[in-house]
Chain A
């Protein structure tokens, strides 16, 4: 096994280099919209990742917050304060900084949910495609049924049920895991269907039959032989799913069943800010909303481009 490992990773490395040298990089450099969305996504990721170090203020450090700074409009408006570029909320926190910290939570929940869906979906898809028979029929029937409900409804129902099952005092601590579980479970079907389809094709190819003949274990065949050959489309699904997961998280948080206000995501910020809309303090809710839309749009556009670039039929 130990000798196969480097060979395998080398092959992946080769493939990656070949891909970059050829079509994908070319199509990337030819599409300004894609380059722009890649830049926006990268900036958002970096800003979220390094928020504690680069944010102009720490919105959760009570010592640095001054109530006298509360509800200041953005810097370019009259009454604006140059220290607070996008204004402050009702407690004097810098909106720009809270957005950076909020995007951090949104992205973490988004990535974690996508990973959860991916592992669950790819796993079930592999098993379903390779085993066939009753197990396959059962998994695909469940997938069909789930697919007939909108993902956000499934996530909301799982979230609601999980919340009523869990003890109330622990809601805030467990909220993150509940969210990831709910969004993750609501999104596995697409991965499973795609991977199952590719697995059905791959399992009849000679290399798999050869592996079976020389007596390699089922799990090894699945993970080492079939899995690397069915992961292509998964990347595309995962990118688009990230955008969906971020929106779902924001929606659940907006509805008040997502992350708690103590660790606000973009959705929570919009929910909290929404209460001040009528008093004219629009910036508290509009800027987090704008950040959310820009982030989701950029990820969506990247996903669209990736789908087209990886699919030779569309070129």
Chain B
């Protein structure tokens, strides 16, 4: 177990360093960093001096080391486009993305899980078939199209909900939240549904498949034979045993939600990190791109690591397998 954890941890660090290398490569070699800092009337001598002062003449490995050190304390330099520190920009945008992702994840789980259980228990029912067909359409509908359709119906035709932005936000220290105002909550509805729909279908299908698998096993038949009420068998015996894969997949999906937020934010002009990144690509604003690259990779690596560790903690069979495998 500790050996596995250590290997897993080292692997995460290698991934992070690779991503950092790509980000650094972008930073350093796409365009001339000096050109992006100074005006046209700066003389060649001044440029050389600046180059020397900023350490751009140092060996590659020294520069890369400095980059990694800066990045690990959250220092990503200045945005070319906004002329402000990237750290400030990200800190401004982070709450928007995280709030949206959190609401979507909860929505996906709280709606998707009961639907999955229901479709597994009433396999051939009319409603179940309806859910399954809907979920197939849900998977085939691209995220941005769901957003557009929602905007068309609830924003343009019915005029019930705002179609862009976060509404009014309340500042709590450096964190801004839309949870505390009516317009903030209303603005959240459509983006969070858009973002949640795909994950919802995924969770529903996963739980359905896992439930069907468990319901076939002997201990469920035995529980029925013991005369336990169906409700108890379904929820205390069956559902409990589907939870391990569901928890891990849901954990992993959290990363996907943050990634898919790029699309949703773009549709709804939601002022989060994804929108910042898309605009940065359009403007070739490399410090912002590099920062996003590193941040998103960090989120993913961290989530994956936690989920892997949880897997070992939650499922004793894995520990046993590993132990015997190591013993041989």
Binding site for B on A (CB under 8 A): 141, 145, 148-150, 152-153, 156-157, 159-161, 163-165, 168, 243, 247, 250-251, 254-257, 270, 274, 277-278, 280, 282, 285-286, 289, 292-293, 296-297, 300-301
Contacts and interface: CB of A to CB of B under 8 A. Distances in A.
Given A149-B300, A165-B26, 10 more contacts: A152-B260, A157-B293, A160-B281, A256-B282, A257-B281, A277-B148, A286-B149, A289-B145, A293-B137, A300-B139
B278 A257 contact: yes
B183 interface: no
Contact of A153 (B140, B259, B280, B284): B259
Contact of B148 (A149, A257, A274): A274
A255 B262 contact: yes
Contacts of A141: 11
Contact of B263 (A164, A165, A255, A292): A255
**Majority-rule SS of B interface residues:** helix
25 contacts: A148-B304, A150-B255, A150-B259, A153-B259, A153-B262, A157-B293, A160-B289, A161-B22, A163-B281, A164-B30, A251-B144, A251-B263, A254-B144, A255-B144, A255-B263, A256-B278, A257-B278, A270-B144, A274-B267, A277-B148, A277-B156, A282-B152, A285-B148, A292-B145, A293-B140
**Majority-rule SS of A interface residues:** helix
A149 B259 contact: yes
Contacts of B296: 153
B252 interface: yes
B323 interface: no
A296 B144 CA distance: 14
Given A168-B284, A278-B156, A280-B156, A255 B266 contact: yes
Contact of B141 (A156, A282, A293): A293
Interface string B141-156: 1111100110110001
Interface of B: 11, 15, 22, 26, 30, 136-137, 139-145, 148-149, 151-152, 156, 163, 252, 255-256, 259-260, 262-263, 266-267, 277-278, 280-282, 284, 286, 289, 293, 296, 300, 304
Contact of A277 (B142, B143, B152, B293): B152
A285 B148 CA distance: 9
Contacts of B26: 161, 164-165
Top 3 closest pairs, chain A to chain B, by CB: A153-B259, A160-B281, A297-B140
B140 A150 contact: no
Contacts of B30: 164-165
A152 B280 CA distance: 18
